[in-house]
């Protein structure tokens, strides 16, 4: 299992647009096959950093998921919304695998 962490730099004056974007992904991402952990908007501290986090079984599954997301009506609408509103200044994806499992005392 891989965890994809998307780090966004957003326009701090367009936080409401990012939150709409996040809510839309909250519908489209699970429907297209990824296990969405959530989208996180700035609250305290930095006013420009936001994150999207989801799990996907493999990079091959990620490619198939991205194709489904691009074909999804809400997915397409959300991509266009981001392009039109220009609230995303930067977007970086990192794929991580869990290294600390199992957690807790196993006895």
What pLDDT digit, counting tens, does each position of 6-47 carry? 999 999 999 999 999 999 999 999 999 999 999 999 999 889
Q: Is the pLDDT of residue 91 over 70?
A: yes
Of the candidates 33, 20, 96, 18, the one whose C-alpha atom is nearest the C-alpha of residue 67 is: 33
Q: 78 Cβ partners below 8 Å, 6+ apart?
A: 21, 24, 25, 28
Average pLDDT in the 60-69 region?
96
Which pLDDT belongs to residue 81? 98
pTM of the shown model:
0.89
Q: Is the pLDDT of residue 68 over 70?
A: yes
Confidence of residue 102 (pLDDT cuts 50, 70, 90): confident
pLDDT tens digits for range 72-89: 999 999 999 999 999 999
Strands lying side by side in the sheet with 49-56: 35-40, 49-56, 2-10, 88-96
- C-alpha atoms less than 13 angstroms from C-alpha of 104 in its C-beta half-sphere: 2
- Tally helices (H) and strands (E) across the chain: 3, 4
Q: Identify the structural domains of the chain with CATH numbers, from first to last.
A: 2-95 (3.30.70.100)
Tokens of 28: 């489209």
Tokens of 68: 């489904």
């Amino acid at each position: 299992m891989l965890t994809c962490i998307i780090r966004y730099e957003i326009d701090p004056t367009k936080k409401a647009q990012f939150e709409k974007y996040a809510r839309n992904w909250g519908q489209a991402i699970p429907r297209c096959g990824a296990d969405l952990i959530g989208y996180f908007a700035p609250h305290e501290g930095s006013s420009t950093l936001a994150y999207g986090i989801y799990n996907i079984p493999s990079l091959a599954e990620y490619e198939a998921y991205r194709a489904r997301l691009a074909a999804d009506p809400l997915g397409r609408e959300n991509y266009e919304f981001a392009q039109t509103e220009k609230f995303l200044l930067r977007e970086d994806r990192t794929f991580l695998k869990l290294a600390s499992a199992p957690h807790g005392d196993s006895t």
